[in-house]
Structure 1
Amino acid sequence: MYIPAALWQRLSKSKFRSRFRLNTKDKNYAKIKGITIIEQHALNFIQKRLAPAIITNDGKQTPMRGHPVFVAQHATATCCRSCLEKWHHFPQHQKLNAKQIQYIQTVIMFWINQQDCF
Structure 2
Amino acid sequence: MATISDKDWNALKKKLTEDGRIEKFMLGEPEQEYVTSRGMDILRLHATDFVNKRLAPANPKNDGRQTPTKGHPVFIAQHACGCNDRDAVEEFFGYEKGRELTADEVDIIVDVILKWIEEHLD
TM-score range normalised by the length of the shorter chain? over 0.9
Name the structure 1 match of 2:81.
76
Preserved CA contact (<8 Å) 2:21 2:82: no
Q: Secondary structure at the match of 1:71?
A: helix
Which one of 14, 26, 31 corresponds to residue 19 of structure 2? 14
Q: When the two structures are superposed, what TM-score results if normalisation uses the length of structure 2?
A: 0.91
- Quote the Cα distance in structure 2 between the aligned partners of 1:61 and 1:12: 23
Q: Secondary structure at the match of 2:68?
A: coil
Name the structure 1 match of 2:72.
67
- State the Cα distance separating 1:17 from its structure 2 match: 3.7
> CA RMSD for the aligned pairs?
1.2
Identity over aligned residues, as a percent? 35
Name the structure 2 match of 1:43.
48
- Quote the Cα distance in structure 2 between the aligned partners of 1:18 and 1:77: 12
Q: Residues 26 and 104 of structure 1: is their aligned pair in 2 closer, same or farther, counting only changes over 3 Å?
A: same
Q: Does the alignment pair 1:53 with 2:49? A: no
Q: Does the alignment pair 1:97 with 2:102? A: yes
Gaps of 5+ in 1: none
Name the structure 2 match of 1:32.
37
Alignment length (residue pairs):
117
